[in-house]
Structure 1
Amino acid sequence: MLNDIIGVYSKVGQSGRQDDDVYDRFSHRWTIIILAVFIIAISAKQFVGTPIECIPPAEFGEEHKAYVENFCWIHYTYSVDDNTPLTRQMVRGANGSHKTPYYIWIPYICLAACLTTWIPAWFWHIVGHHATFDIPAVINQLAKMKLTNPDDRIENLTIIAKHYEKAASYAKSTNRSSRNIFRKFISYSMFFAGGGALTGIYFFVKLLYLINAVGQFFLINYFFKIDYWYYGQRILYGLFSGRDWVENKQFFPRIVYCDFAIRYLGDNNLNYTVQCTLPVNLYNERIFAFYWFWLIFLTLITIYGITVWLMQMSYRGRRSFLKKHLRINKQICMKLDECNLFNAFGERYLGGDGILFLRLVAKNTSPVIGGELLGILWERYQARRNATVALGIKMGNMKSSNGDSSFGDEKPPPFDASTLTYNQQPKKN
């Protein structure tokens, strides 16, 4: 089991993923690393060290002491406030006592927290990568690209641009012909971010990260049967007031009691109550104190990340991103004739999915590569539009010069960028 945990830990710590941002990495990478360290530390104390020490009755020998400790470890114990007298009439779990059955399950609870944290990343990997195109494969190819040779760099970026155009064309044709209402609903619901199924899935994954960060409080509350919401606040109060972390240790008690019976022949049963100490709770107390503050930080940073992406994918944010990189590459000066072309390029040609893809490229490689890829897409879009206009003018001239054309009295069919192949270049006159 320990080798499997170490193997998972080494894989999670690698930075091979190229399909997210720093806010997502706090969840699916650093949170899982922290939980893996917790699992290793607690498991080492439970399975290698001595998790519990009990004071057996005076007549018990050394073998009986081991039996008592094993019995109390696998059965639940209970804690009693220091000011409450311990009487034989006390029933476990009542009359001021507090059950503590959870400490043996803490490694598995941390493992369940790892799985819930990994679910959004798994969903993005399974669903998001197939919504339009495989983003990690494209970004990994860009990351391996050599920047020293400008010709090779432009050639590779052109190949990526062609691949994006074909993938976007397939996605648009699929959306038009598909009867998948759920896919269309996701695309149309992203109207504020430019539309697109990939954009909708990306924001949904970020919402899953937020649900996971908040839901972990409910998960710990459910398994531990404690008020974990206020655990960190009590720790802060104890630190600032000069007291111990948690008053009377009702969350992770270090001193507990255990009831057991030794049965003899007939009805002659002897009941015992022993006092035990749980050294493992000294680790659990600090681990879950740190994890409380980490979950608060994770919730806040996830909300901040969603807010940043909402601003970046808004109408103004999308236009600002495109203008910034096109002006840096000196490919647009925003004349009147370019303004309409720019609007069509940003809203209809790229849309929300295209700008999301370019932003992920810029975040995971460099803004220079993202800007150059955007410049190539802009040049190819201009070339296709110029070729479309030239072809439309040529067919109009043919009709005016030939009184009898094959169209008769009908108008020639309209032409737009989608009527030409992606590799077609404008012809020189």
Structure 2
Amino acid sequence: RVYHTYYQWVCFVLFFQALAFWAPRFIWKMAEGGLTRNLVLGLNSPLLNGESREASIRLLTEYFTANMHLHNGRFFTYAATETLNLLNVVLQMLMLDRFLGNQFSSYGIEVLKFTEWDEAVRFDPMIKIFPRMTKCDFYNFGASGSIERKDALCLLPINVLNEKIFIFLWFWLYLLAVLSALTLLYRALTIFIPTLRVMALNSHCRLSNSRAIKQVLSKGSIGDWFMLDLLAKNMEASNFKELIVRLKEKFETDADAESLDLLKDKLNLLSEKLSFMEKR
């Protein structure tokens, strides 16, 4: 004899599953604070007039120049939410397996095998977990006041819907688990392989020159790459290409100015040494 009671709690389980899936997105939105939307500055439109486009790109260039190496916190927060996504999927699969009497883990496989079984011996696994007709016990007070037990056949039409919901969830959760694991693998590779960051950013904006992208990324950290990658996904391609060109020129100008200052310092130091030697 198998007792089925979990179907009464399906709606609550689905509600808490939805909250759990929403939590990582909420954490990221709170940490990001709308920064990407504010940095786009209307550059997601290809029809922006020349003056507005020039002003927006100049502001973005000044922002990245002044805030280099300050975006690592957002990158690692995003990576943490991606980890939460994978952890959430795995824990939900384990929870559903426990909720359905350790039958969820093989639910989808059994349903796929069901179609291949012989008509004479096959038994629908969906009906096994979510029966549409079952034996029910009713307890009522009899004429003398004592409790009488009556058994009857009960129809459970809600399980026709429940079985479809959970077979969809089985395939969906396994797909999400695989995609989340691949996403974490990609995130780890971008941390340890800088060349992959150049390739990723170039793939999101093929108009930009890969050499210019490499020069810009060499001046920043992984957090700066992450913010540029978000902008590449949200900006019009020609505008992002112009931003990369401006950043490259800005970094080269700053490097030339720094080299010139260093050369001046060396000349001053040499001059002081020569003056000291002449005095001696």
1:333, 1:362 → 2: CA distance? 14
Q: Deviations over 1:181-210 (max 9, x none)?
A: xxxxxxxxxxxxxxx333322222111111
Matched with 1:234 is: 110
Matched with 2:139 is: 261
Matched with 1:121 is: 25
Matched with 1:181 is: none
Alignment of 1:271-286 (within 5 A): 271-286=149-164
SS of equivalent residue, structure 2 residue 115: helix
Matched with 2:246 is: 376
Q: 1:316 aligns with which of 195, 213, 218?
A: 195
Q: 1:249 aligns with which of 112, 121, 127?
A: 127
2:5, 2:206 → 1: CA distance? 64
Matched with 2:217 is: 346
Any conservation in 2 of the 1:255–1:278 contact (CA below 8 Å)? yes
Amino acid at match of 1:158: R
Matched with 1:199 is: 75
Alignment of 1:49-128 (within 5 A): 97-127=1-31
User: Which deviates more from structure 2 when the two are superposed, residues 376-385 or residues 386-395?
Assistant: 386-395
Q: Deviations over 1:3-46 (max 9, x none)?
A: xxxxxxxxxxxxxxxxxxxxxxxxxxxxxxxxxxxxxxxxxxxx
Matched with 1:385 is: 255
User: Which deviates more from structure 2 when the two are superposed, residues 253-262 or residues 317-326?
Assistant: 317-326
Mark the CA change 1:387 to 1:242 in structure 2 (over 3 Å): closer, same or farther.
Answer: farther
Any conservation in 1 of the 2:43–2:239 contact (CA below 8 Å)? no
Amino acid at match of 2:66: K
Q: 2:39 aligns with which of 132, 138, 141?
A: 138
Mark the CA change 1:382 to 1:285 in structure 2 (over 3 Å): closer, same or farther.
Answer: same
Mark the CA change 1:388 to 1:117 in structure 2 (over 3 Å): closer, same or farther.
Answer: same
Amino acid at match of 1:258: C
Q: Displacement of 1:100 after TM fit?
A: 1.6
Any conservation in 2 of the 1:261–1:271 contact (CA below 8 Å)? yes
Matched with 2:86 is: 210
Q: 1:292 aligns with which of 164, 167, 170?
A: 170
TM-score (norm 1): 0.55
2:153, 2:236 → 1: CA distance? 61
1:156, 1:376 → 2: CA distance? 12
1:258, 1:143 → 2: CA distance? 65
Q: Displacement of 1:367 after TM fit?
A: 4.2
Q: 2:232 aligns with which of 330, 354, 362?
A: 362
2:262, 2:199 → 1: CA distance? 32
Mark the CA change 1:361 to 1:327 in structure 2 (over 3 Å): closer, same or farther.
Answer: closer
Count residues in correspondence: 274
Q: Displacement of 1:211 after TM fit?
A: 1.5
Alignment of 1:320-339 (within 5 A): 320=199
Please identify which structure carries the higher helix content: 2
Mark the CA change 1:148 to 1:299 in structure 2 (over 3 Å): closer, same or farther.
Answer: same
Mark the CA change 1:245 to 1:232 in structure 2 (over 3 Å): closer, same or farther.
Answer: farther
Mark the CA change 1:285 to 1:312 in structure 2 (over 3 Å): closer, same or farther.
Answer: same
Q: Displacement of 1:264 after TM fit?
A: 4.5
Q: Deviations over 1:98-154 (max 9, x none)?
A: 222122221111111101101111121223x26xx9234324x34555545345323
- Residue identity (%): 21
Alignment of 1:401-412 (within 5 A): none
Tell me which of the two structures has the higher relative contact order, counting C-alpha pairs closer than 8 angstroms and 6 or more residues apart: 2
Any conservation in 1 of the 2:212–2:244 contact (CA below 8 Å)? no
1:258, 1:156 → 2: CA distance? 70
Mark the CA change 1:273 to 1:376 in structure 2 (over 3 Å): closer, same or farther.
Answer: same
2:210, 2:176 → 1: CA distance? 40
Mark the CA change 1:298 to 1:368 in structure 2 (over 3 Å): closer, same or farther.
Answer: farther
2:201, 2:148 → 1: CA distance? 81
2:187, 2:144 → 1: CA distance? 73
Any conservation in 1 of the 2:28–2:78 contact (CA below 8 Å)? yes
Mark the CA change 1:368 to 1:218 in structure 2 (over 3 Å): closer, same or farther.
Answer: farther
Amino acid at match of 2:151: T
1:227, 1:393 → 2: CA distance? 74
Any conservation in 1 of the 2:6–2:99 contact (CA below 8 Å)? yes
1:287, 1:322 → 2: CA distance? 39
2:141, 2:11 → 1: CA distance? 33
Q: 1:162 aligns with which of 41, 54, 62?
A: 62
